[in-house]
Structure 1
Amino acid sequence: MIAERNVPLQPHNSFGIVARAQQLVRIRSEDDIAEVLAREDWRKMPKFVLGGGSNIVITGDVKPLVLKVEIPGRRVVEDTPRACIVEIGAGELWHDTVRWTLEQDCPGLENMAMIPGTVGGAPVQNIGAYGVELQDRFESLDGIDLETGRRFTLDAAQCAFGYRDSVFKHPPGSGPNDFGLAGRAVITRVRLRLPRPWKPELGYLDLARKAAESGIDEPTPMQVFDWVCAIRQAKLPDWRVLGNAGSFFKNPTVTPEQCADIIAREPRIVHYPMPDGTVKLAAGWLIDACGWKGKSVGNAGVYEKQALVLVNRGGNTHPATGGEVMTLAKAIQTSVYERFGIRLEPEPVVV
């Protein structure tokens, strides 16, 4: 276990916001968590679990004990004609893991290539892209309760996955069954079930266009991986060059009646019918329609190529503050609500 004091967090959040952790412990095994909980002073402290820092907005120095999860490891647990099950340490990078599964001839994650962050953060957010979500490939996860020190395993139902949501985003007592794990648990390992036989998921328009442009009717998993990487690189900024937290707002869902009302006023609105009968609206389109693309508040701005992404225009030398990012986000929320009557919900966790 490695413990540090007064640790700069700018390298550990993809927005590049300047802040410090009063105390930070690097978690590289389950035993490290046991050591933390064995110390009386740390056991009683509030705790903040940090993975890749790709889905957070830090608004000031972090006073809770920061647990920086760096647990390594990847292995194929089971490989049958029906599925390949892999187990991944929570500290492994997600994109590298997607590539690794392809190298093991265990495809199924390629639509989620280039999503930043670590594997441990993937279930928290129920990450997804281009028609595939983590819950579609999830088997189970292991974790440790930070209050009791007990180790646990959860399946998909127990994780209560929703759109960019899970039990790990809700505090205890906030759900219908009072089962929330935000701030209470550390995910240590994640197991994914990758179905066989593999078939490409090409339902999204961008991927369908790539297939048509290439003239390939039956792409390989690696070709889909390459297409997704190319699409994301064309649309989204590299956080290592231009700090950001990816898509900042969730795509809102409305009833068919609400959608019809909006279409009557805004015929060009981008929308997608959902299996449950609701309609998903493109948050980026709503933000762009309100004139925010390219605008800034201080050194926080709206990306010129994709209005759904907020960026740090100040780089590492004059970075945006968490306050500037949230001021910009709230102004966007107000504009969208005033014009469309829709409340946008941020995806990142605000610390």
Structure 2
Amino acid sequence: MSLSIQEQVSLRSYNTLAIDVAARFFVAVQSLEQLQAALAWAEQREIAVLLLGGGSNLVLTADLNALVIHLQLRGIQVLSEDADFAQVEVQAGENWHDFVQWSLAQGLSGLENLSLIPGNVGAAPVQNIGAYGAELKDHLDSVLVLDRYTGQIQRLSNEQCQFAYRDSLFKRESGRRVILSVIFKLPKHAALQLDYGHLRSYLAEQQVQQPTAQDVSRAVCAIRAEKLPDPKQLANAGSFFKNPVISAEHAQQLQENYPNIVSFAQADGQVKLAAGWLIEHAGWKGVRQGDAGVHTKQALVLVNYGGASGQQILELAGQIQADIKQRFAVELEIEPNVITG
């Protein structure tokens, strides 16, 4: 099979942080056969591989001595449906937000709280993306993968994906499995989640008394657009830090010192803190160091004003982590995947 493999390709337009590093080799694949051929090409030459989708959750720190495979697998198919649910298979290269909007247009719900999250469908299970009280795992049935160790195609159930907060089997065993498609089980009768963030108050302000899933999606889009920069306008990788989870005792101590701290009780007795509140309270919101900065409206987002390198973004992140640890005794974990070359 003929592959159009290019050399020394800039990845600036392939990652939402707009980090300008070069891939030694680059190829776009639109089919499973092309993907298998690209992987074989790299294996024969003993060249490392980086699989790239929408590039929305990456920090690239150096030129890559690797074959970068840009996954462009496309297609959405309803596998089965009954009066209550539809099982839908979505190829990895489909844009996530476009798929959410497609599902809503079909009268399906469950993904409305995840509207406007950047990136492609194939990357969503890696991070177990989540927002406004919902997570991908809530409506994921299974994932079709190519196991690079065995060469076999497997369908992994929700349980086998080992989902956790911004974590999964795919993240813990990075590079082993190529996500080909994701199968969702989406309800036809909405059970809306409105009690996280400003959703309920926003809908009330808009005088939406009996919201639909589409109303929730529109509200999420409006709230995100107000607080989060569009990567096409200001380069960023979305939320840069995970919300830390701490013990109830530690949380109680912090609440005594900081009565306005934003926290959420967890089912296991622990407490999740809002990383954005910690960073903003520490004075980092709007800080800029060269072309690397903290967004002026959302302290959880680090941005590239034009010429920042991945290393400069990480240096700023490291300063924030050290300050938060010193002030609050809380460890902040970086959410995007850091690629060192």
**Is the TM value for this pair above 0.5?**
yes
Residue 143 (1) aligns with residue 145 (2):
yes
List per-residue Cα deviations over 1:257-313 (Å, max 9, x = no partner). Answer: 110011111111111111222111000111111111111222100001010000011
Q: What amino acid maps onto 1:320 in structure 2?
A: A
1:48 alignment counterpart: 50
- 1:299-314 equivalences under 5 Å are 299-314=291-306
- Give, in angstroms, the shift of residue 42 of structure 1: 4.4
Correspondence for 2:117: 115
Give the TM-score, by structure 2 length.
Answer: 0.96
Give the aligned residue type for 2:191. Answer: K
Greater Cα offset, 58-67 or 236-245? 58-67
CA contact (8 A) 1:57 1:350 kept: yes
Checking the alignment, whether the CA contact within 8 Å between 1:84 and 1:193 is kept in structure 2 is: yes
Q: Secondary structure at the match of 1:205?
A: coil
Question: Aligned partners of 1:95 and 1:270: how far apart in 2?
Answer: 28
User: What letter corresponds to residue 201 of structure 2 in structure 1?
Assistant: R
Quote the residue 1:233 is aligned against.
225
- 1:337 is matched with 325
Q: SS state of the match for residue 219, structure 1?
A: coil
Please list, as runs of the form range in 1=range in 2, the aligned pairs for 1:194-273 lying within 5 A after superposition: 194-273=186-265
Correspondences of 1:150-161 after superposition (within 5 Å): 150-161=152-163
Moved more, 103-112 or 330-339: 103-112
Q: Deviation of residue 41 (structure 1)? A: 4.7
State how many pairs are aligned.
Answer: 337
Q: 2:56 matched to 1:64?
A: no
Q: Percent identity?
A: 45
Matching residue of 1:74 = 76
SS at match of 1:162: coil
Unaligned runs of 5+ residues in structure 1 are 171-179
Residue number in structure 2 paired with 1:184? 176
Secondary structure of residue in 1 paired with 2:296 = coil
Deviation at 1:40, TM superposition (A): 6.6
* Residue among 255, 276, 280 paired with 1:284: 276
Alpha-carbon offset, residue 43 of structure 1:
6.5
1:210/1:190 CA distance change after superposition, 3 Å: same
Sort the Cα spacing of 1:40 and 1:46 in 2 relative to 1 into closer, same or farther, 3 A: closer
CA displacement 1:104-156 (0-9 Å, x = unmatched) = 22222111000000000000010011111000010011111123321111111
The range that moved more, 105-114 or 41-50, is 41-50
Q: What is the rounded CA distance, in whole Å, between the counterparts of 2:4 and 2:95 in structure 1?
A: 20
* CA distance in 1: counterparts of 2:86 and 2:255, whole angstroms: 44
Conserved 8 A contact 2:42-2:49: no
Structure 2 Cα separation of the partners of residues 159 and 128 of structure 1: 16
Which 5+ residue runs of structure 2 have no aligned equivalent?
none
3-state SS, counterpart of residue 2 of structure 1: coil
How much does 1:44 deviate? Answer: 3.3
Q: CA RMSD in A?
A: 1.3
- Give the match for residue 33 of structure 1: 35
Between the aligned partners of 1:115 and 1:38, the Cα distance in structure 2 is 33
What TM-score do you get using the length of structure 1 for normalisation?
Answer: 0.93
- Letter paired with 1:289: H
The equivalent of 1:326 in structure 2 is 314
Distance 1:47-1:82 versus aligned 2 partners, 3 A rule? same
Instruction: Give the superposition deviation at 1:65.
Output: 1.6
Q: Distance in 1 between matches of 2:210 and 2:44?
A: 54
CA distance in 1, matches of 2:87, 2:69: 28
